[in-house]
Chains A and B, each alone.
Chain A
């Protein structure tokens, strides 16, 4: 066993995320059949083009309509091994669903995400109950790949490698695999246990996972490059970027991903009774997520504060609309200046009103900083370079870095995009490795 590695921990039973219900509930059998039959089965369908992993969406939907659930799930997973979770976390309104031709008919677009969830969860349930496996890996090729980080990029890469008979070993520093799928996705979209269920399925194809392993402490790049035929970096991003304003260092001020993780993964974590209002700084999707989560958990007063205007925000309009339906408001054009506190208690966020150029105190019990995540800090192998924004530079087609045996994918190369982009990166890196070794893909 690798130094420091511990088996993955089980999730605590009393997680706050369990209070959430799905914002988009699973389809029943009859709902799925009706929706699947609505699909026009477009040729060269725009939904496929809009999918970063290029899933043959009309094909998998047609298979649902014919009752071929296993075939439907294989159509999805063969190009996106995290298809069970991306079905639920993808911003489909911006991707496949947003491209559905029904929109041009002023008709309701096909609920592609829900249908994908239907097919994948049904198929995984059947396999878990002892049904024939969707995929059978090819015989061992003797190749070995180390992957750093157990997020969607590494999991997708490892899965495609394992199916092709390559031995993948994933090293993860935290106690749970799954990356942001486990720690960071809003629980009304996906709960940690659902993420771990998909991880277990991926591991079942011959992927080794070592958790509690830290780069630099327990393992070194040089050693991994020496032992393996290739290395995949799915490093993700670092911790929350902090405001670093007076009063922000202390209780009652949270980093957004830190707070989401506590809600999703920590046993016994609750919001204290004397906290009834929160201000979330930022207007990206993480900001909108945590604001909606806090509102759904019963905080009567949750607002977003943003230094620019709604038109300029990076969060999706449909996400803000969802948060607003829980009473969240967007306060535009204010610049945080200071967290006013009384000892350990936050009393207000002092902001500069950029329109009237005057200082205003916005009373609140908590401040949540959702202004981005830091880049990871450790040094990279020789030849692996970063751009001026700290992103690892890769070849667009292969996700290969400047080092011939090192590939990378996910947030560490794109600065923080969707899970589905990470899945595409992992797959393309795996396929590039296989091409380099002249090995066939194993998708059957």
Chain B
């Protein structure tokens, strides 16, 4: 069993799984139940001046019959009194001294920051997370993403916090920027101890086609919200990776964005996260999802021969390159396993209409024209697929790949519904490694 304990910028945690700041970490009672379920830490629902929320706060997109592939909210920071939250933080830390409790904060003036940081430290919080990410509501008042989008302001407030705090200060970044390095480096310049990202993406989740109101509908109106959930994971992964591979960013990262299971978590950790934060998956299924996260990550580390989760941190970062550094001579082609093919021909139509017209069926020449060659119109006889048969003798239309023409885009393998049926196989073309940058350097580009 691998050691899952981590130290995130000085904050000790029994495992890398933290509740992200949000509805699941709204109260001490919830956080204690989460810790009982296995969560290693919790970033408290953001504290600040008391606010009022609207009713009707969440909207979601379903995909292919699966609920909540993406979630959007227009909820603001905590609407509970500060003293109540601080008292509960104290009680949680007293009962769970080994777990990480981080206070998420969002206030306006320097005096406000000084006051709230002092009170949080008095309550026993292990760290602070400055919420410079929220893209709805609070940003209209000059807070949240309004700070995260202004590197100078971000640096200044970070330095205030560092001036007042004795416990580690994490900066939570908004993805609603042109280049994530700008706020990331601004946080580093302000002396931040760690980064947390991504916060939610500014979004409109949808329009009700019955009455043409926006969702989530407040009366007959709505506003832009913050988008999260499984759909945002690739965006978050890129931003985490972009910071992790920049040598100027020499502070740990807490990865956030659509993490739903141990696989997602392992990917974030491999791309440079020390801890991961989860909200939507808990809102969807409850605190219990952490059980498989812990179990699955531990088993994965065991199978990888990694005694500690720390061994995984950043392991995938060296592979994250600029396009110009990629090997132009690397070549893969698609192989279709006729034994497992079910004859749906999704690869055929995807290649024909959506790619490079290199997959053919037994049913005769495909209709597409392919550049200067006429292989699309009249594929060579040898690439026409034979008619295969299933065990009952029914004809199965197994397509075949023209490997000479296949450019290795992967689309066929992606659309295939049968795991492992279409594989992309590297081909040795006898050419050595050469990138675009290499060609530029040689003056060949």
Contact = CB atoms under 8 A, between A and B. Distances in A.
Contacts of B90: none
Contact of B418 (A36, A44, A105): A105
Contact of A46 (B343, B346, B361, B418): B343
Contact of A34 (B65, B346, B349): B65
A101 B65 contact: no
A389 interface: no
Contact of B342 (A43, A44, A102): A102
Nearest to B209: A67
A42 B65 contact: no
A37 B64 contact: yes
Contacts of A99: 394
A45 B361 CA distance: 13
A34 B418 CA distance: 19
Contacts of A102: 342
12 contacts: A37-B65, A38-B65, A42-B345, A43-B345, A43-B349, A44-B397, A101-B342, A101-B344, A102-B342, A104-B343, A104-B390, A105-B417
Interface in A214-257: none
B65 A65 contact: yes
Contact of A44 (B64, B345, B394, B396): B345
Interface string B397-421: 1000000000000000000011000
Contact of A40 (B390, B396, B397, B417): B417
A43 B351 CA distance: 12
B250 interface: no
Nearest to B419: A105
A402 to B, nearest CB: 35
Contacts of B345: 42-44
B343 A101 contact: yes
Nearest to B343: A101
Contacts of B344: 40, 42-43, 45, 101
Contacts of B349: 43-44
Contacts, number: 42
Contacts of A43: 344-346, 348-349
Interface in B366-391: 390
Interface size class of B (residues with CB under 8 A): 10 to 19
A40 B65 contact: no
B30 interface: no
Given A101-B342, A105-B418, A44 B363 contact: yes
A121 B342 CA distance: 31
Given A34-B65, A104-B390, A41 B346 contact: yes
Interface of B: 64-65, 341-346, 348-349, 361, 363, 390, 394, 396-397, 417-418
A33 interface: yes
Nearest to A37: B65
A315 B378 CA distance: 45
Contact of B346 (A40, A65, A104): A40
Interface string A95-114: 00001011011000000000
Contact of A104 (B65, B361, B363, B396): B396
Q: For the side of the interface on A, what is the size category?
A: 10 to 19
A40 B343 CA distance: 11
Contacts of A42: 343-346
Given A42-B346, A101-B343, 6 more contacts: A36-B65, A40-B346, A41-B346, A42-B344, A43-B344, A46-B397
Contacts of A38: 65
A109 B293 CA distance: 33
Contacts of B348: 43
List the 3 closest pairs (A to B, CB-CB), nearest first: A37-B65, A43-B349, A104-B342
B234 to A, nearest CB: 22
A176 B202 CA distance: 62
A335 to B, nearest CB: 33
A42 B64 CA distance: 16
Contacts of B361: 44
A33 B363 contact: no
Nearest to B418: A105
Nearest to A33: B65
A121 B20 CA distance: 47
Contacts of A65: 64-65
Interface in A38-88: 38, 40-46, 65
A99 B341 CA distance: 14
A47 to B, nearest CB: 11
Contacts of B394: 99
A168 B397 CA distance: 42
B336 to A, nearest CB: 14
Contacts of B64: 37, 65
B342 A105 contact: yes
A41 B361 CA distance: 17
A407 to B, nearest CB: 31
A99 B397 CA distance: 12
Interface string A11-50: 0000000000000000000000110111011111110000
Nearest to A98: B394
Nearest to B348: A43
A105 B346 CA distance: 15
Contacts of A101: 342-344
Interface in A409-442: none
A307 B64 CA distance: 51
Nearest to B344: A42
Candidate in A34, A38, A65, A105 with the most chain B CB atoms within 10 angstroms = A105
Contacts of B343: 42, 46, 101, 104
A101 B345 CA distance: 10
Nearest to B421: A105
Nearest to B341: A104
Nearest to B395: A46
A440 to B, nearest CB: 26
A31 to B, nearest CB: 11
A284 B363 CA distance: 36
A40 B64 CA distance: 11
Nearest to A58: B344
Contacts of A105: 342, 417-418
A33 B66 CA distance: 10
Nearest to B361: A44
A38 B66 CA distance: 11
B163 to A, nearest CB: 55
B211 to A, nearest CB: 16
